[in-house]
Amino acid sequence: MRLTLLFLFAAHTLFAQSRQPALFRWQDQHARKHLKKYIKHDTLIATSAAMLHISYNNKPGKPYLLMLHGMGANARTNWSSQIGPLSKHFNLILPDLIYFGESSSASQNYSVEFQAQQIHEALQDLGMADSLHVMGFSYGGLCAAMYNELYQPSVRKLVIIDGPVKFFSARMADSLAAAVGVAGMNNVVTPVTIEGFNGMKQAVMSSWFPASKGLKRKVIKYFFQPTKAIRDLQMNYLVMHEEQYRRYSYQLDKTPTLLLWGAKDGVIPLSVGKALHAAYPATTRLLVFAKAKHDAHFKERKALNKAVVAFLKEH
């Protein structure tokens, strides 16, 4: 999400006086071009209950790495700082999660289990469902953990970046939102007011470009507002089923797992990562980025990419 907004502010003059969100088209064209430079295949896969958009490589001799993005963006934007460096070592699999980007479903199923099941079906169709690494950021980190819960024998290693896994709670989320002056975490993840936008910035981003209220309103209108209803449904589902998601072990006792966290994360606090490591000390490793918030994969991209490669290539 941070990279998308950096593009917005770095090139804000492209908005001019036009009502057309030309900058958003420009940003997505840039993301598509960057993806195409490193990833060969781009397709839609029909599963039992969804249409999944997936970009991937399948070069012989390279292990597969399934990468699951967060709520702020589609796959090509979320992973823009990882695609080039990680594609040197792995066959990357980059799905848009359902109800994001170009992936869709008429099911109105907002569970994390549904995300994992439909992705697994698509990978089976592509012949990539066996012996793969799985990495997820934020909401995608929870989806990655759920993939491991459901299909652990096929997962070699797991990487969770700032993910709301097991020890995150609605009470914690509301407290974090209140700390940045916003009522509810939904309004931090998808703000529709200037106050919410400023709270999102404070909770998520380690650095920022100045922006006028007018520009913020345009970002809200064209970036956040169109997805607000569906994001609220997804987040409300997590709250309603909080106890269920806290009961899962995610089979973390069986899968070597790298936990990557921003020390100043105002969305999924470091305490969640520490609790995961304390619960599964034999199989997890926690790496903390002291200056990062909920944006370590952008803020500390070089160090994070290096850590991911080193961990996944260990024997």
The ranges assigned to domains in the chain are 2-15+22-169+250-313
Counting other chains too, the contacts that 22-25 makes at CB distance below 8 Å and 24 or more residues apart are 24/222, 24/223
Q: Identity (one letter) of the amino acid at 252?
A: L
pLDDT of residue 211: 80
Q: Are 125 and 84 in contact (CB under 8 A)?
A: no
Confidence at 212, pLDDT banded by 50, 70, 90: confident
Percent of the chain with pLDDT over 70: 92
Q: How far is CA 235 from the centre of its chain?
A: 14
The architecture CATH gives domain 2-15+22-169+250-313:
3-Layer(aba) Sandwich (3.40)
Contacts of 64 (CB under 8 A, 6+ apart): 90, 91, 93, 128, 131, 132, 133
Residue 129, both tokens: 């469902």
How far apart are the C-alpha atoms of 192 and 171, rounded to whole Å?
A: 22
Contact yes or no for 119/53 (Cβ under 8 A): no
**What confidence score (pLDDT) does residue 21 get?**
56
Task: For residue range 101-160, list pLDDT tens digits in order.
Answer: 999 999 999 999 999 999 999 999 999 999 999 999 999 999 999 999 999 999 999 999
Question: What confidence score (pLDDT) does residue 250 get?
Answer: 98
Residue identified by tokens 């057309």 is 20
Measured distance CA(169)–CA(176) in Å, rounded: 11
Per-residue pLDDT, 303:
98
Binned at pLDDT 50, 70 and 90, residue 24 comes out as low
List CB contacts of 237: < 8 A, sequence separation 6 or more. 110, 111
**Residue 57 predicted with pLDDT over 80:** yes
Question: Once rounded to an integer, what is the mean pLDDT over residues 204-208?
Answer: 89
Q: What is the model's pLDDT at position 17?
A: 35
Higher pLDDT, 73 or 258: 258
DSSP characters over 267-278: SS-HHHHHHHHH
Q: How many CB atoms lie within 10 A of CB 171?
A: 10
Residue 28 pLDDT grade (very low, low, confident, very high; cuts 50, 70, 90): confident
What pLDDT shows up at residue 51?
Answer: 98
The per-residue pLDDT of the chain, averaged, comes to 92
Q: How far apart are CA 26 and CA 40, in angstroms?
A: 21
Tell me which of 223 and 290 has the higher pLDDT. Answer: 290
Q: How confident is the model at residue 23, as a pLDDT?
A: 62
Region 83-96 average pLDDT: 98
| pLDDT beyond 60 at 305 | yes
> Which residues are 92's β-sheet partners?
65
Share of the chain above pLDDT 90, in %: 85
What is the SS3 assignment for 148?
helix
Say how far apart CA 26 and CA 150 lie, in whole Å.
38
Check pLDDT > 90 for residue 73. Answer: no
Backbone phi and psi for residue 128, each to the nearest 5 degrees, phi listed first:
-125, 15
Q: How many CA atoms lie within 13 A of 280 on its CB side?
A: 22
> In whole angstroms, how far apart are CA 80 and each of 56, 77, 160, 161?
14, 5, 17, 15
What's the whole-model pTM score?
0.93
- CA–CA separation, 211 vs 215, rounded Å? 6
Q: What φ, ψ does residue 94 adopt, rounded to 5°?
A: -125, 85
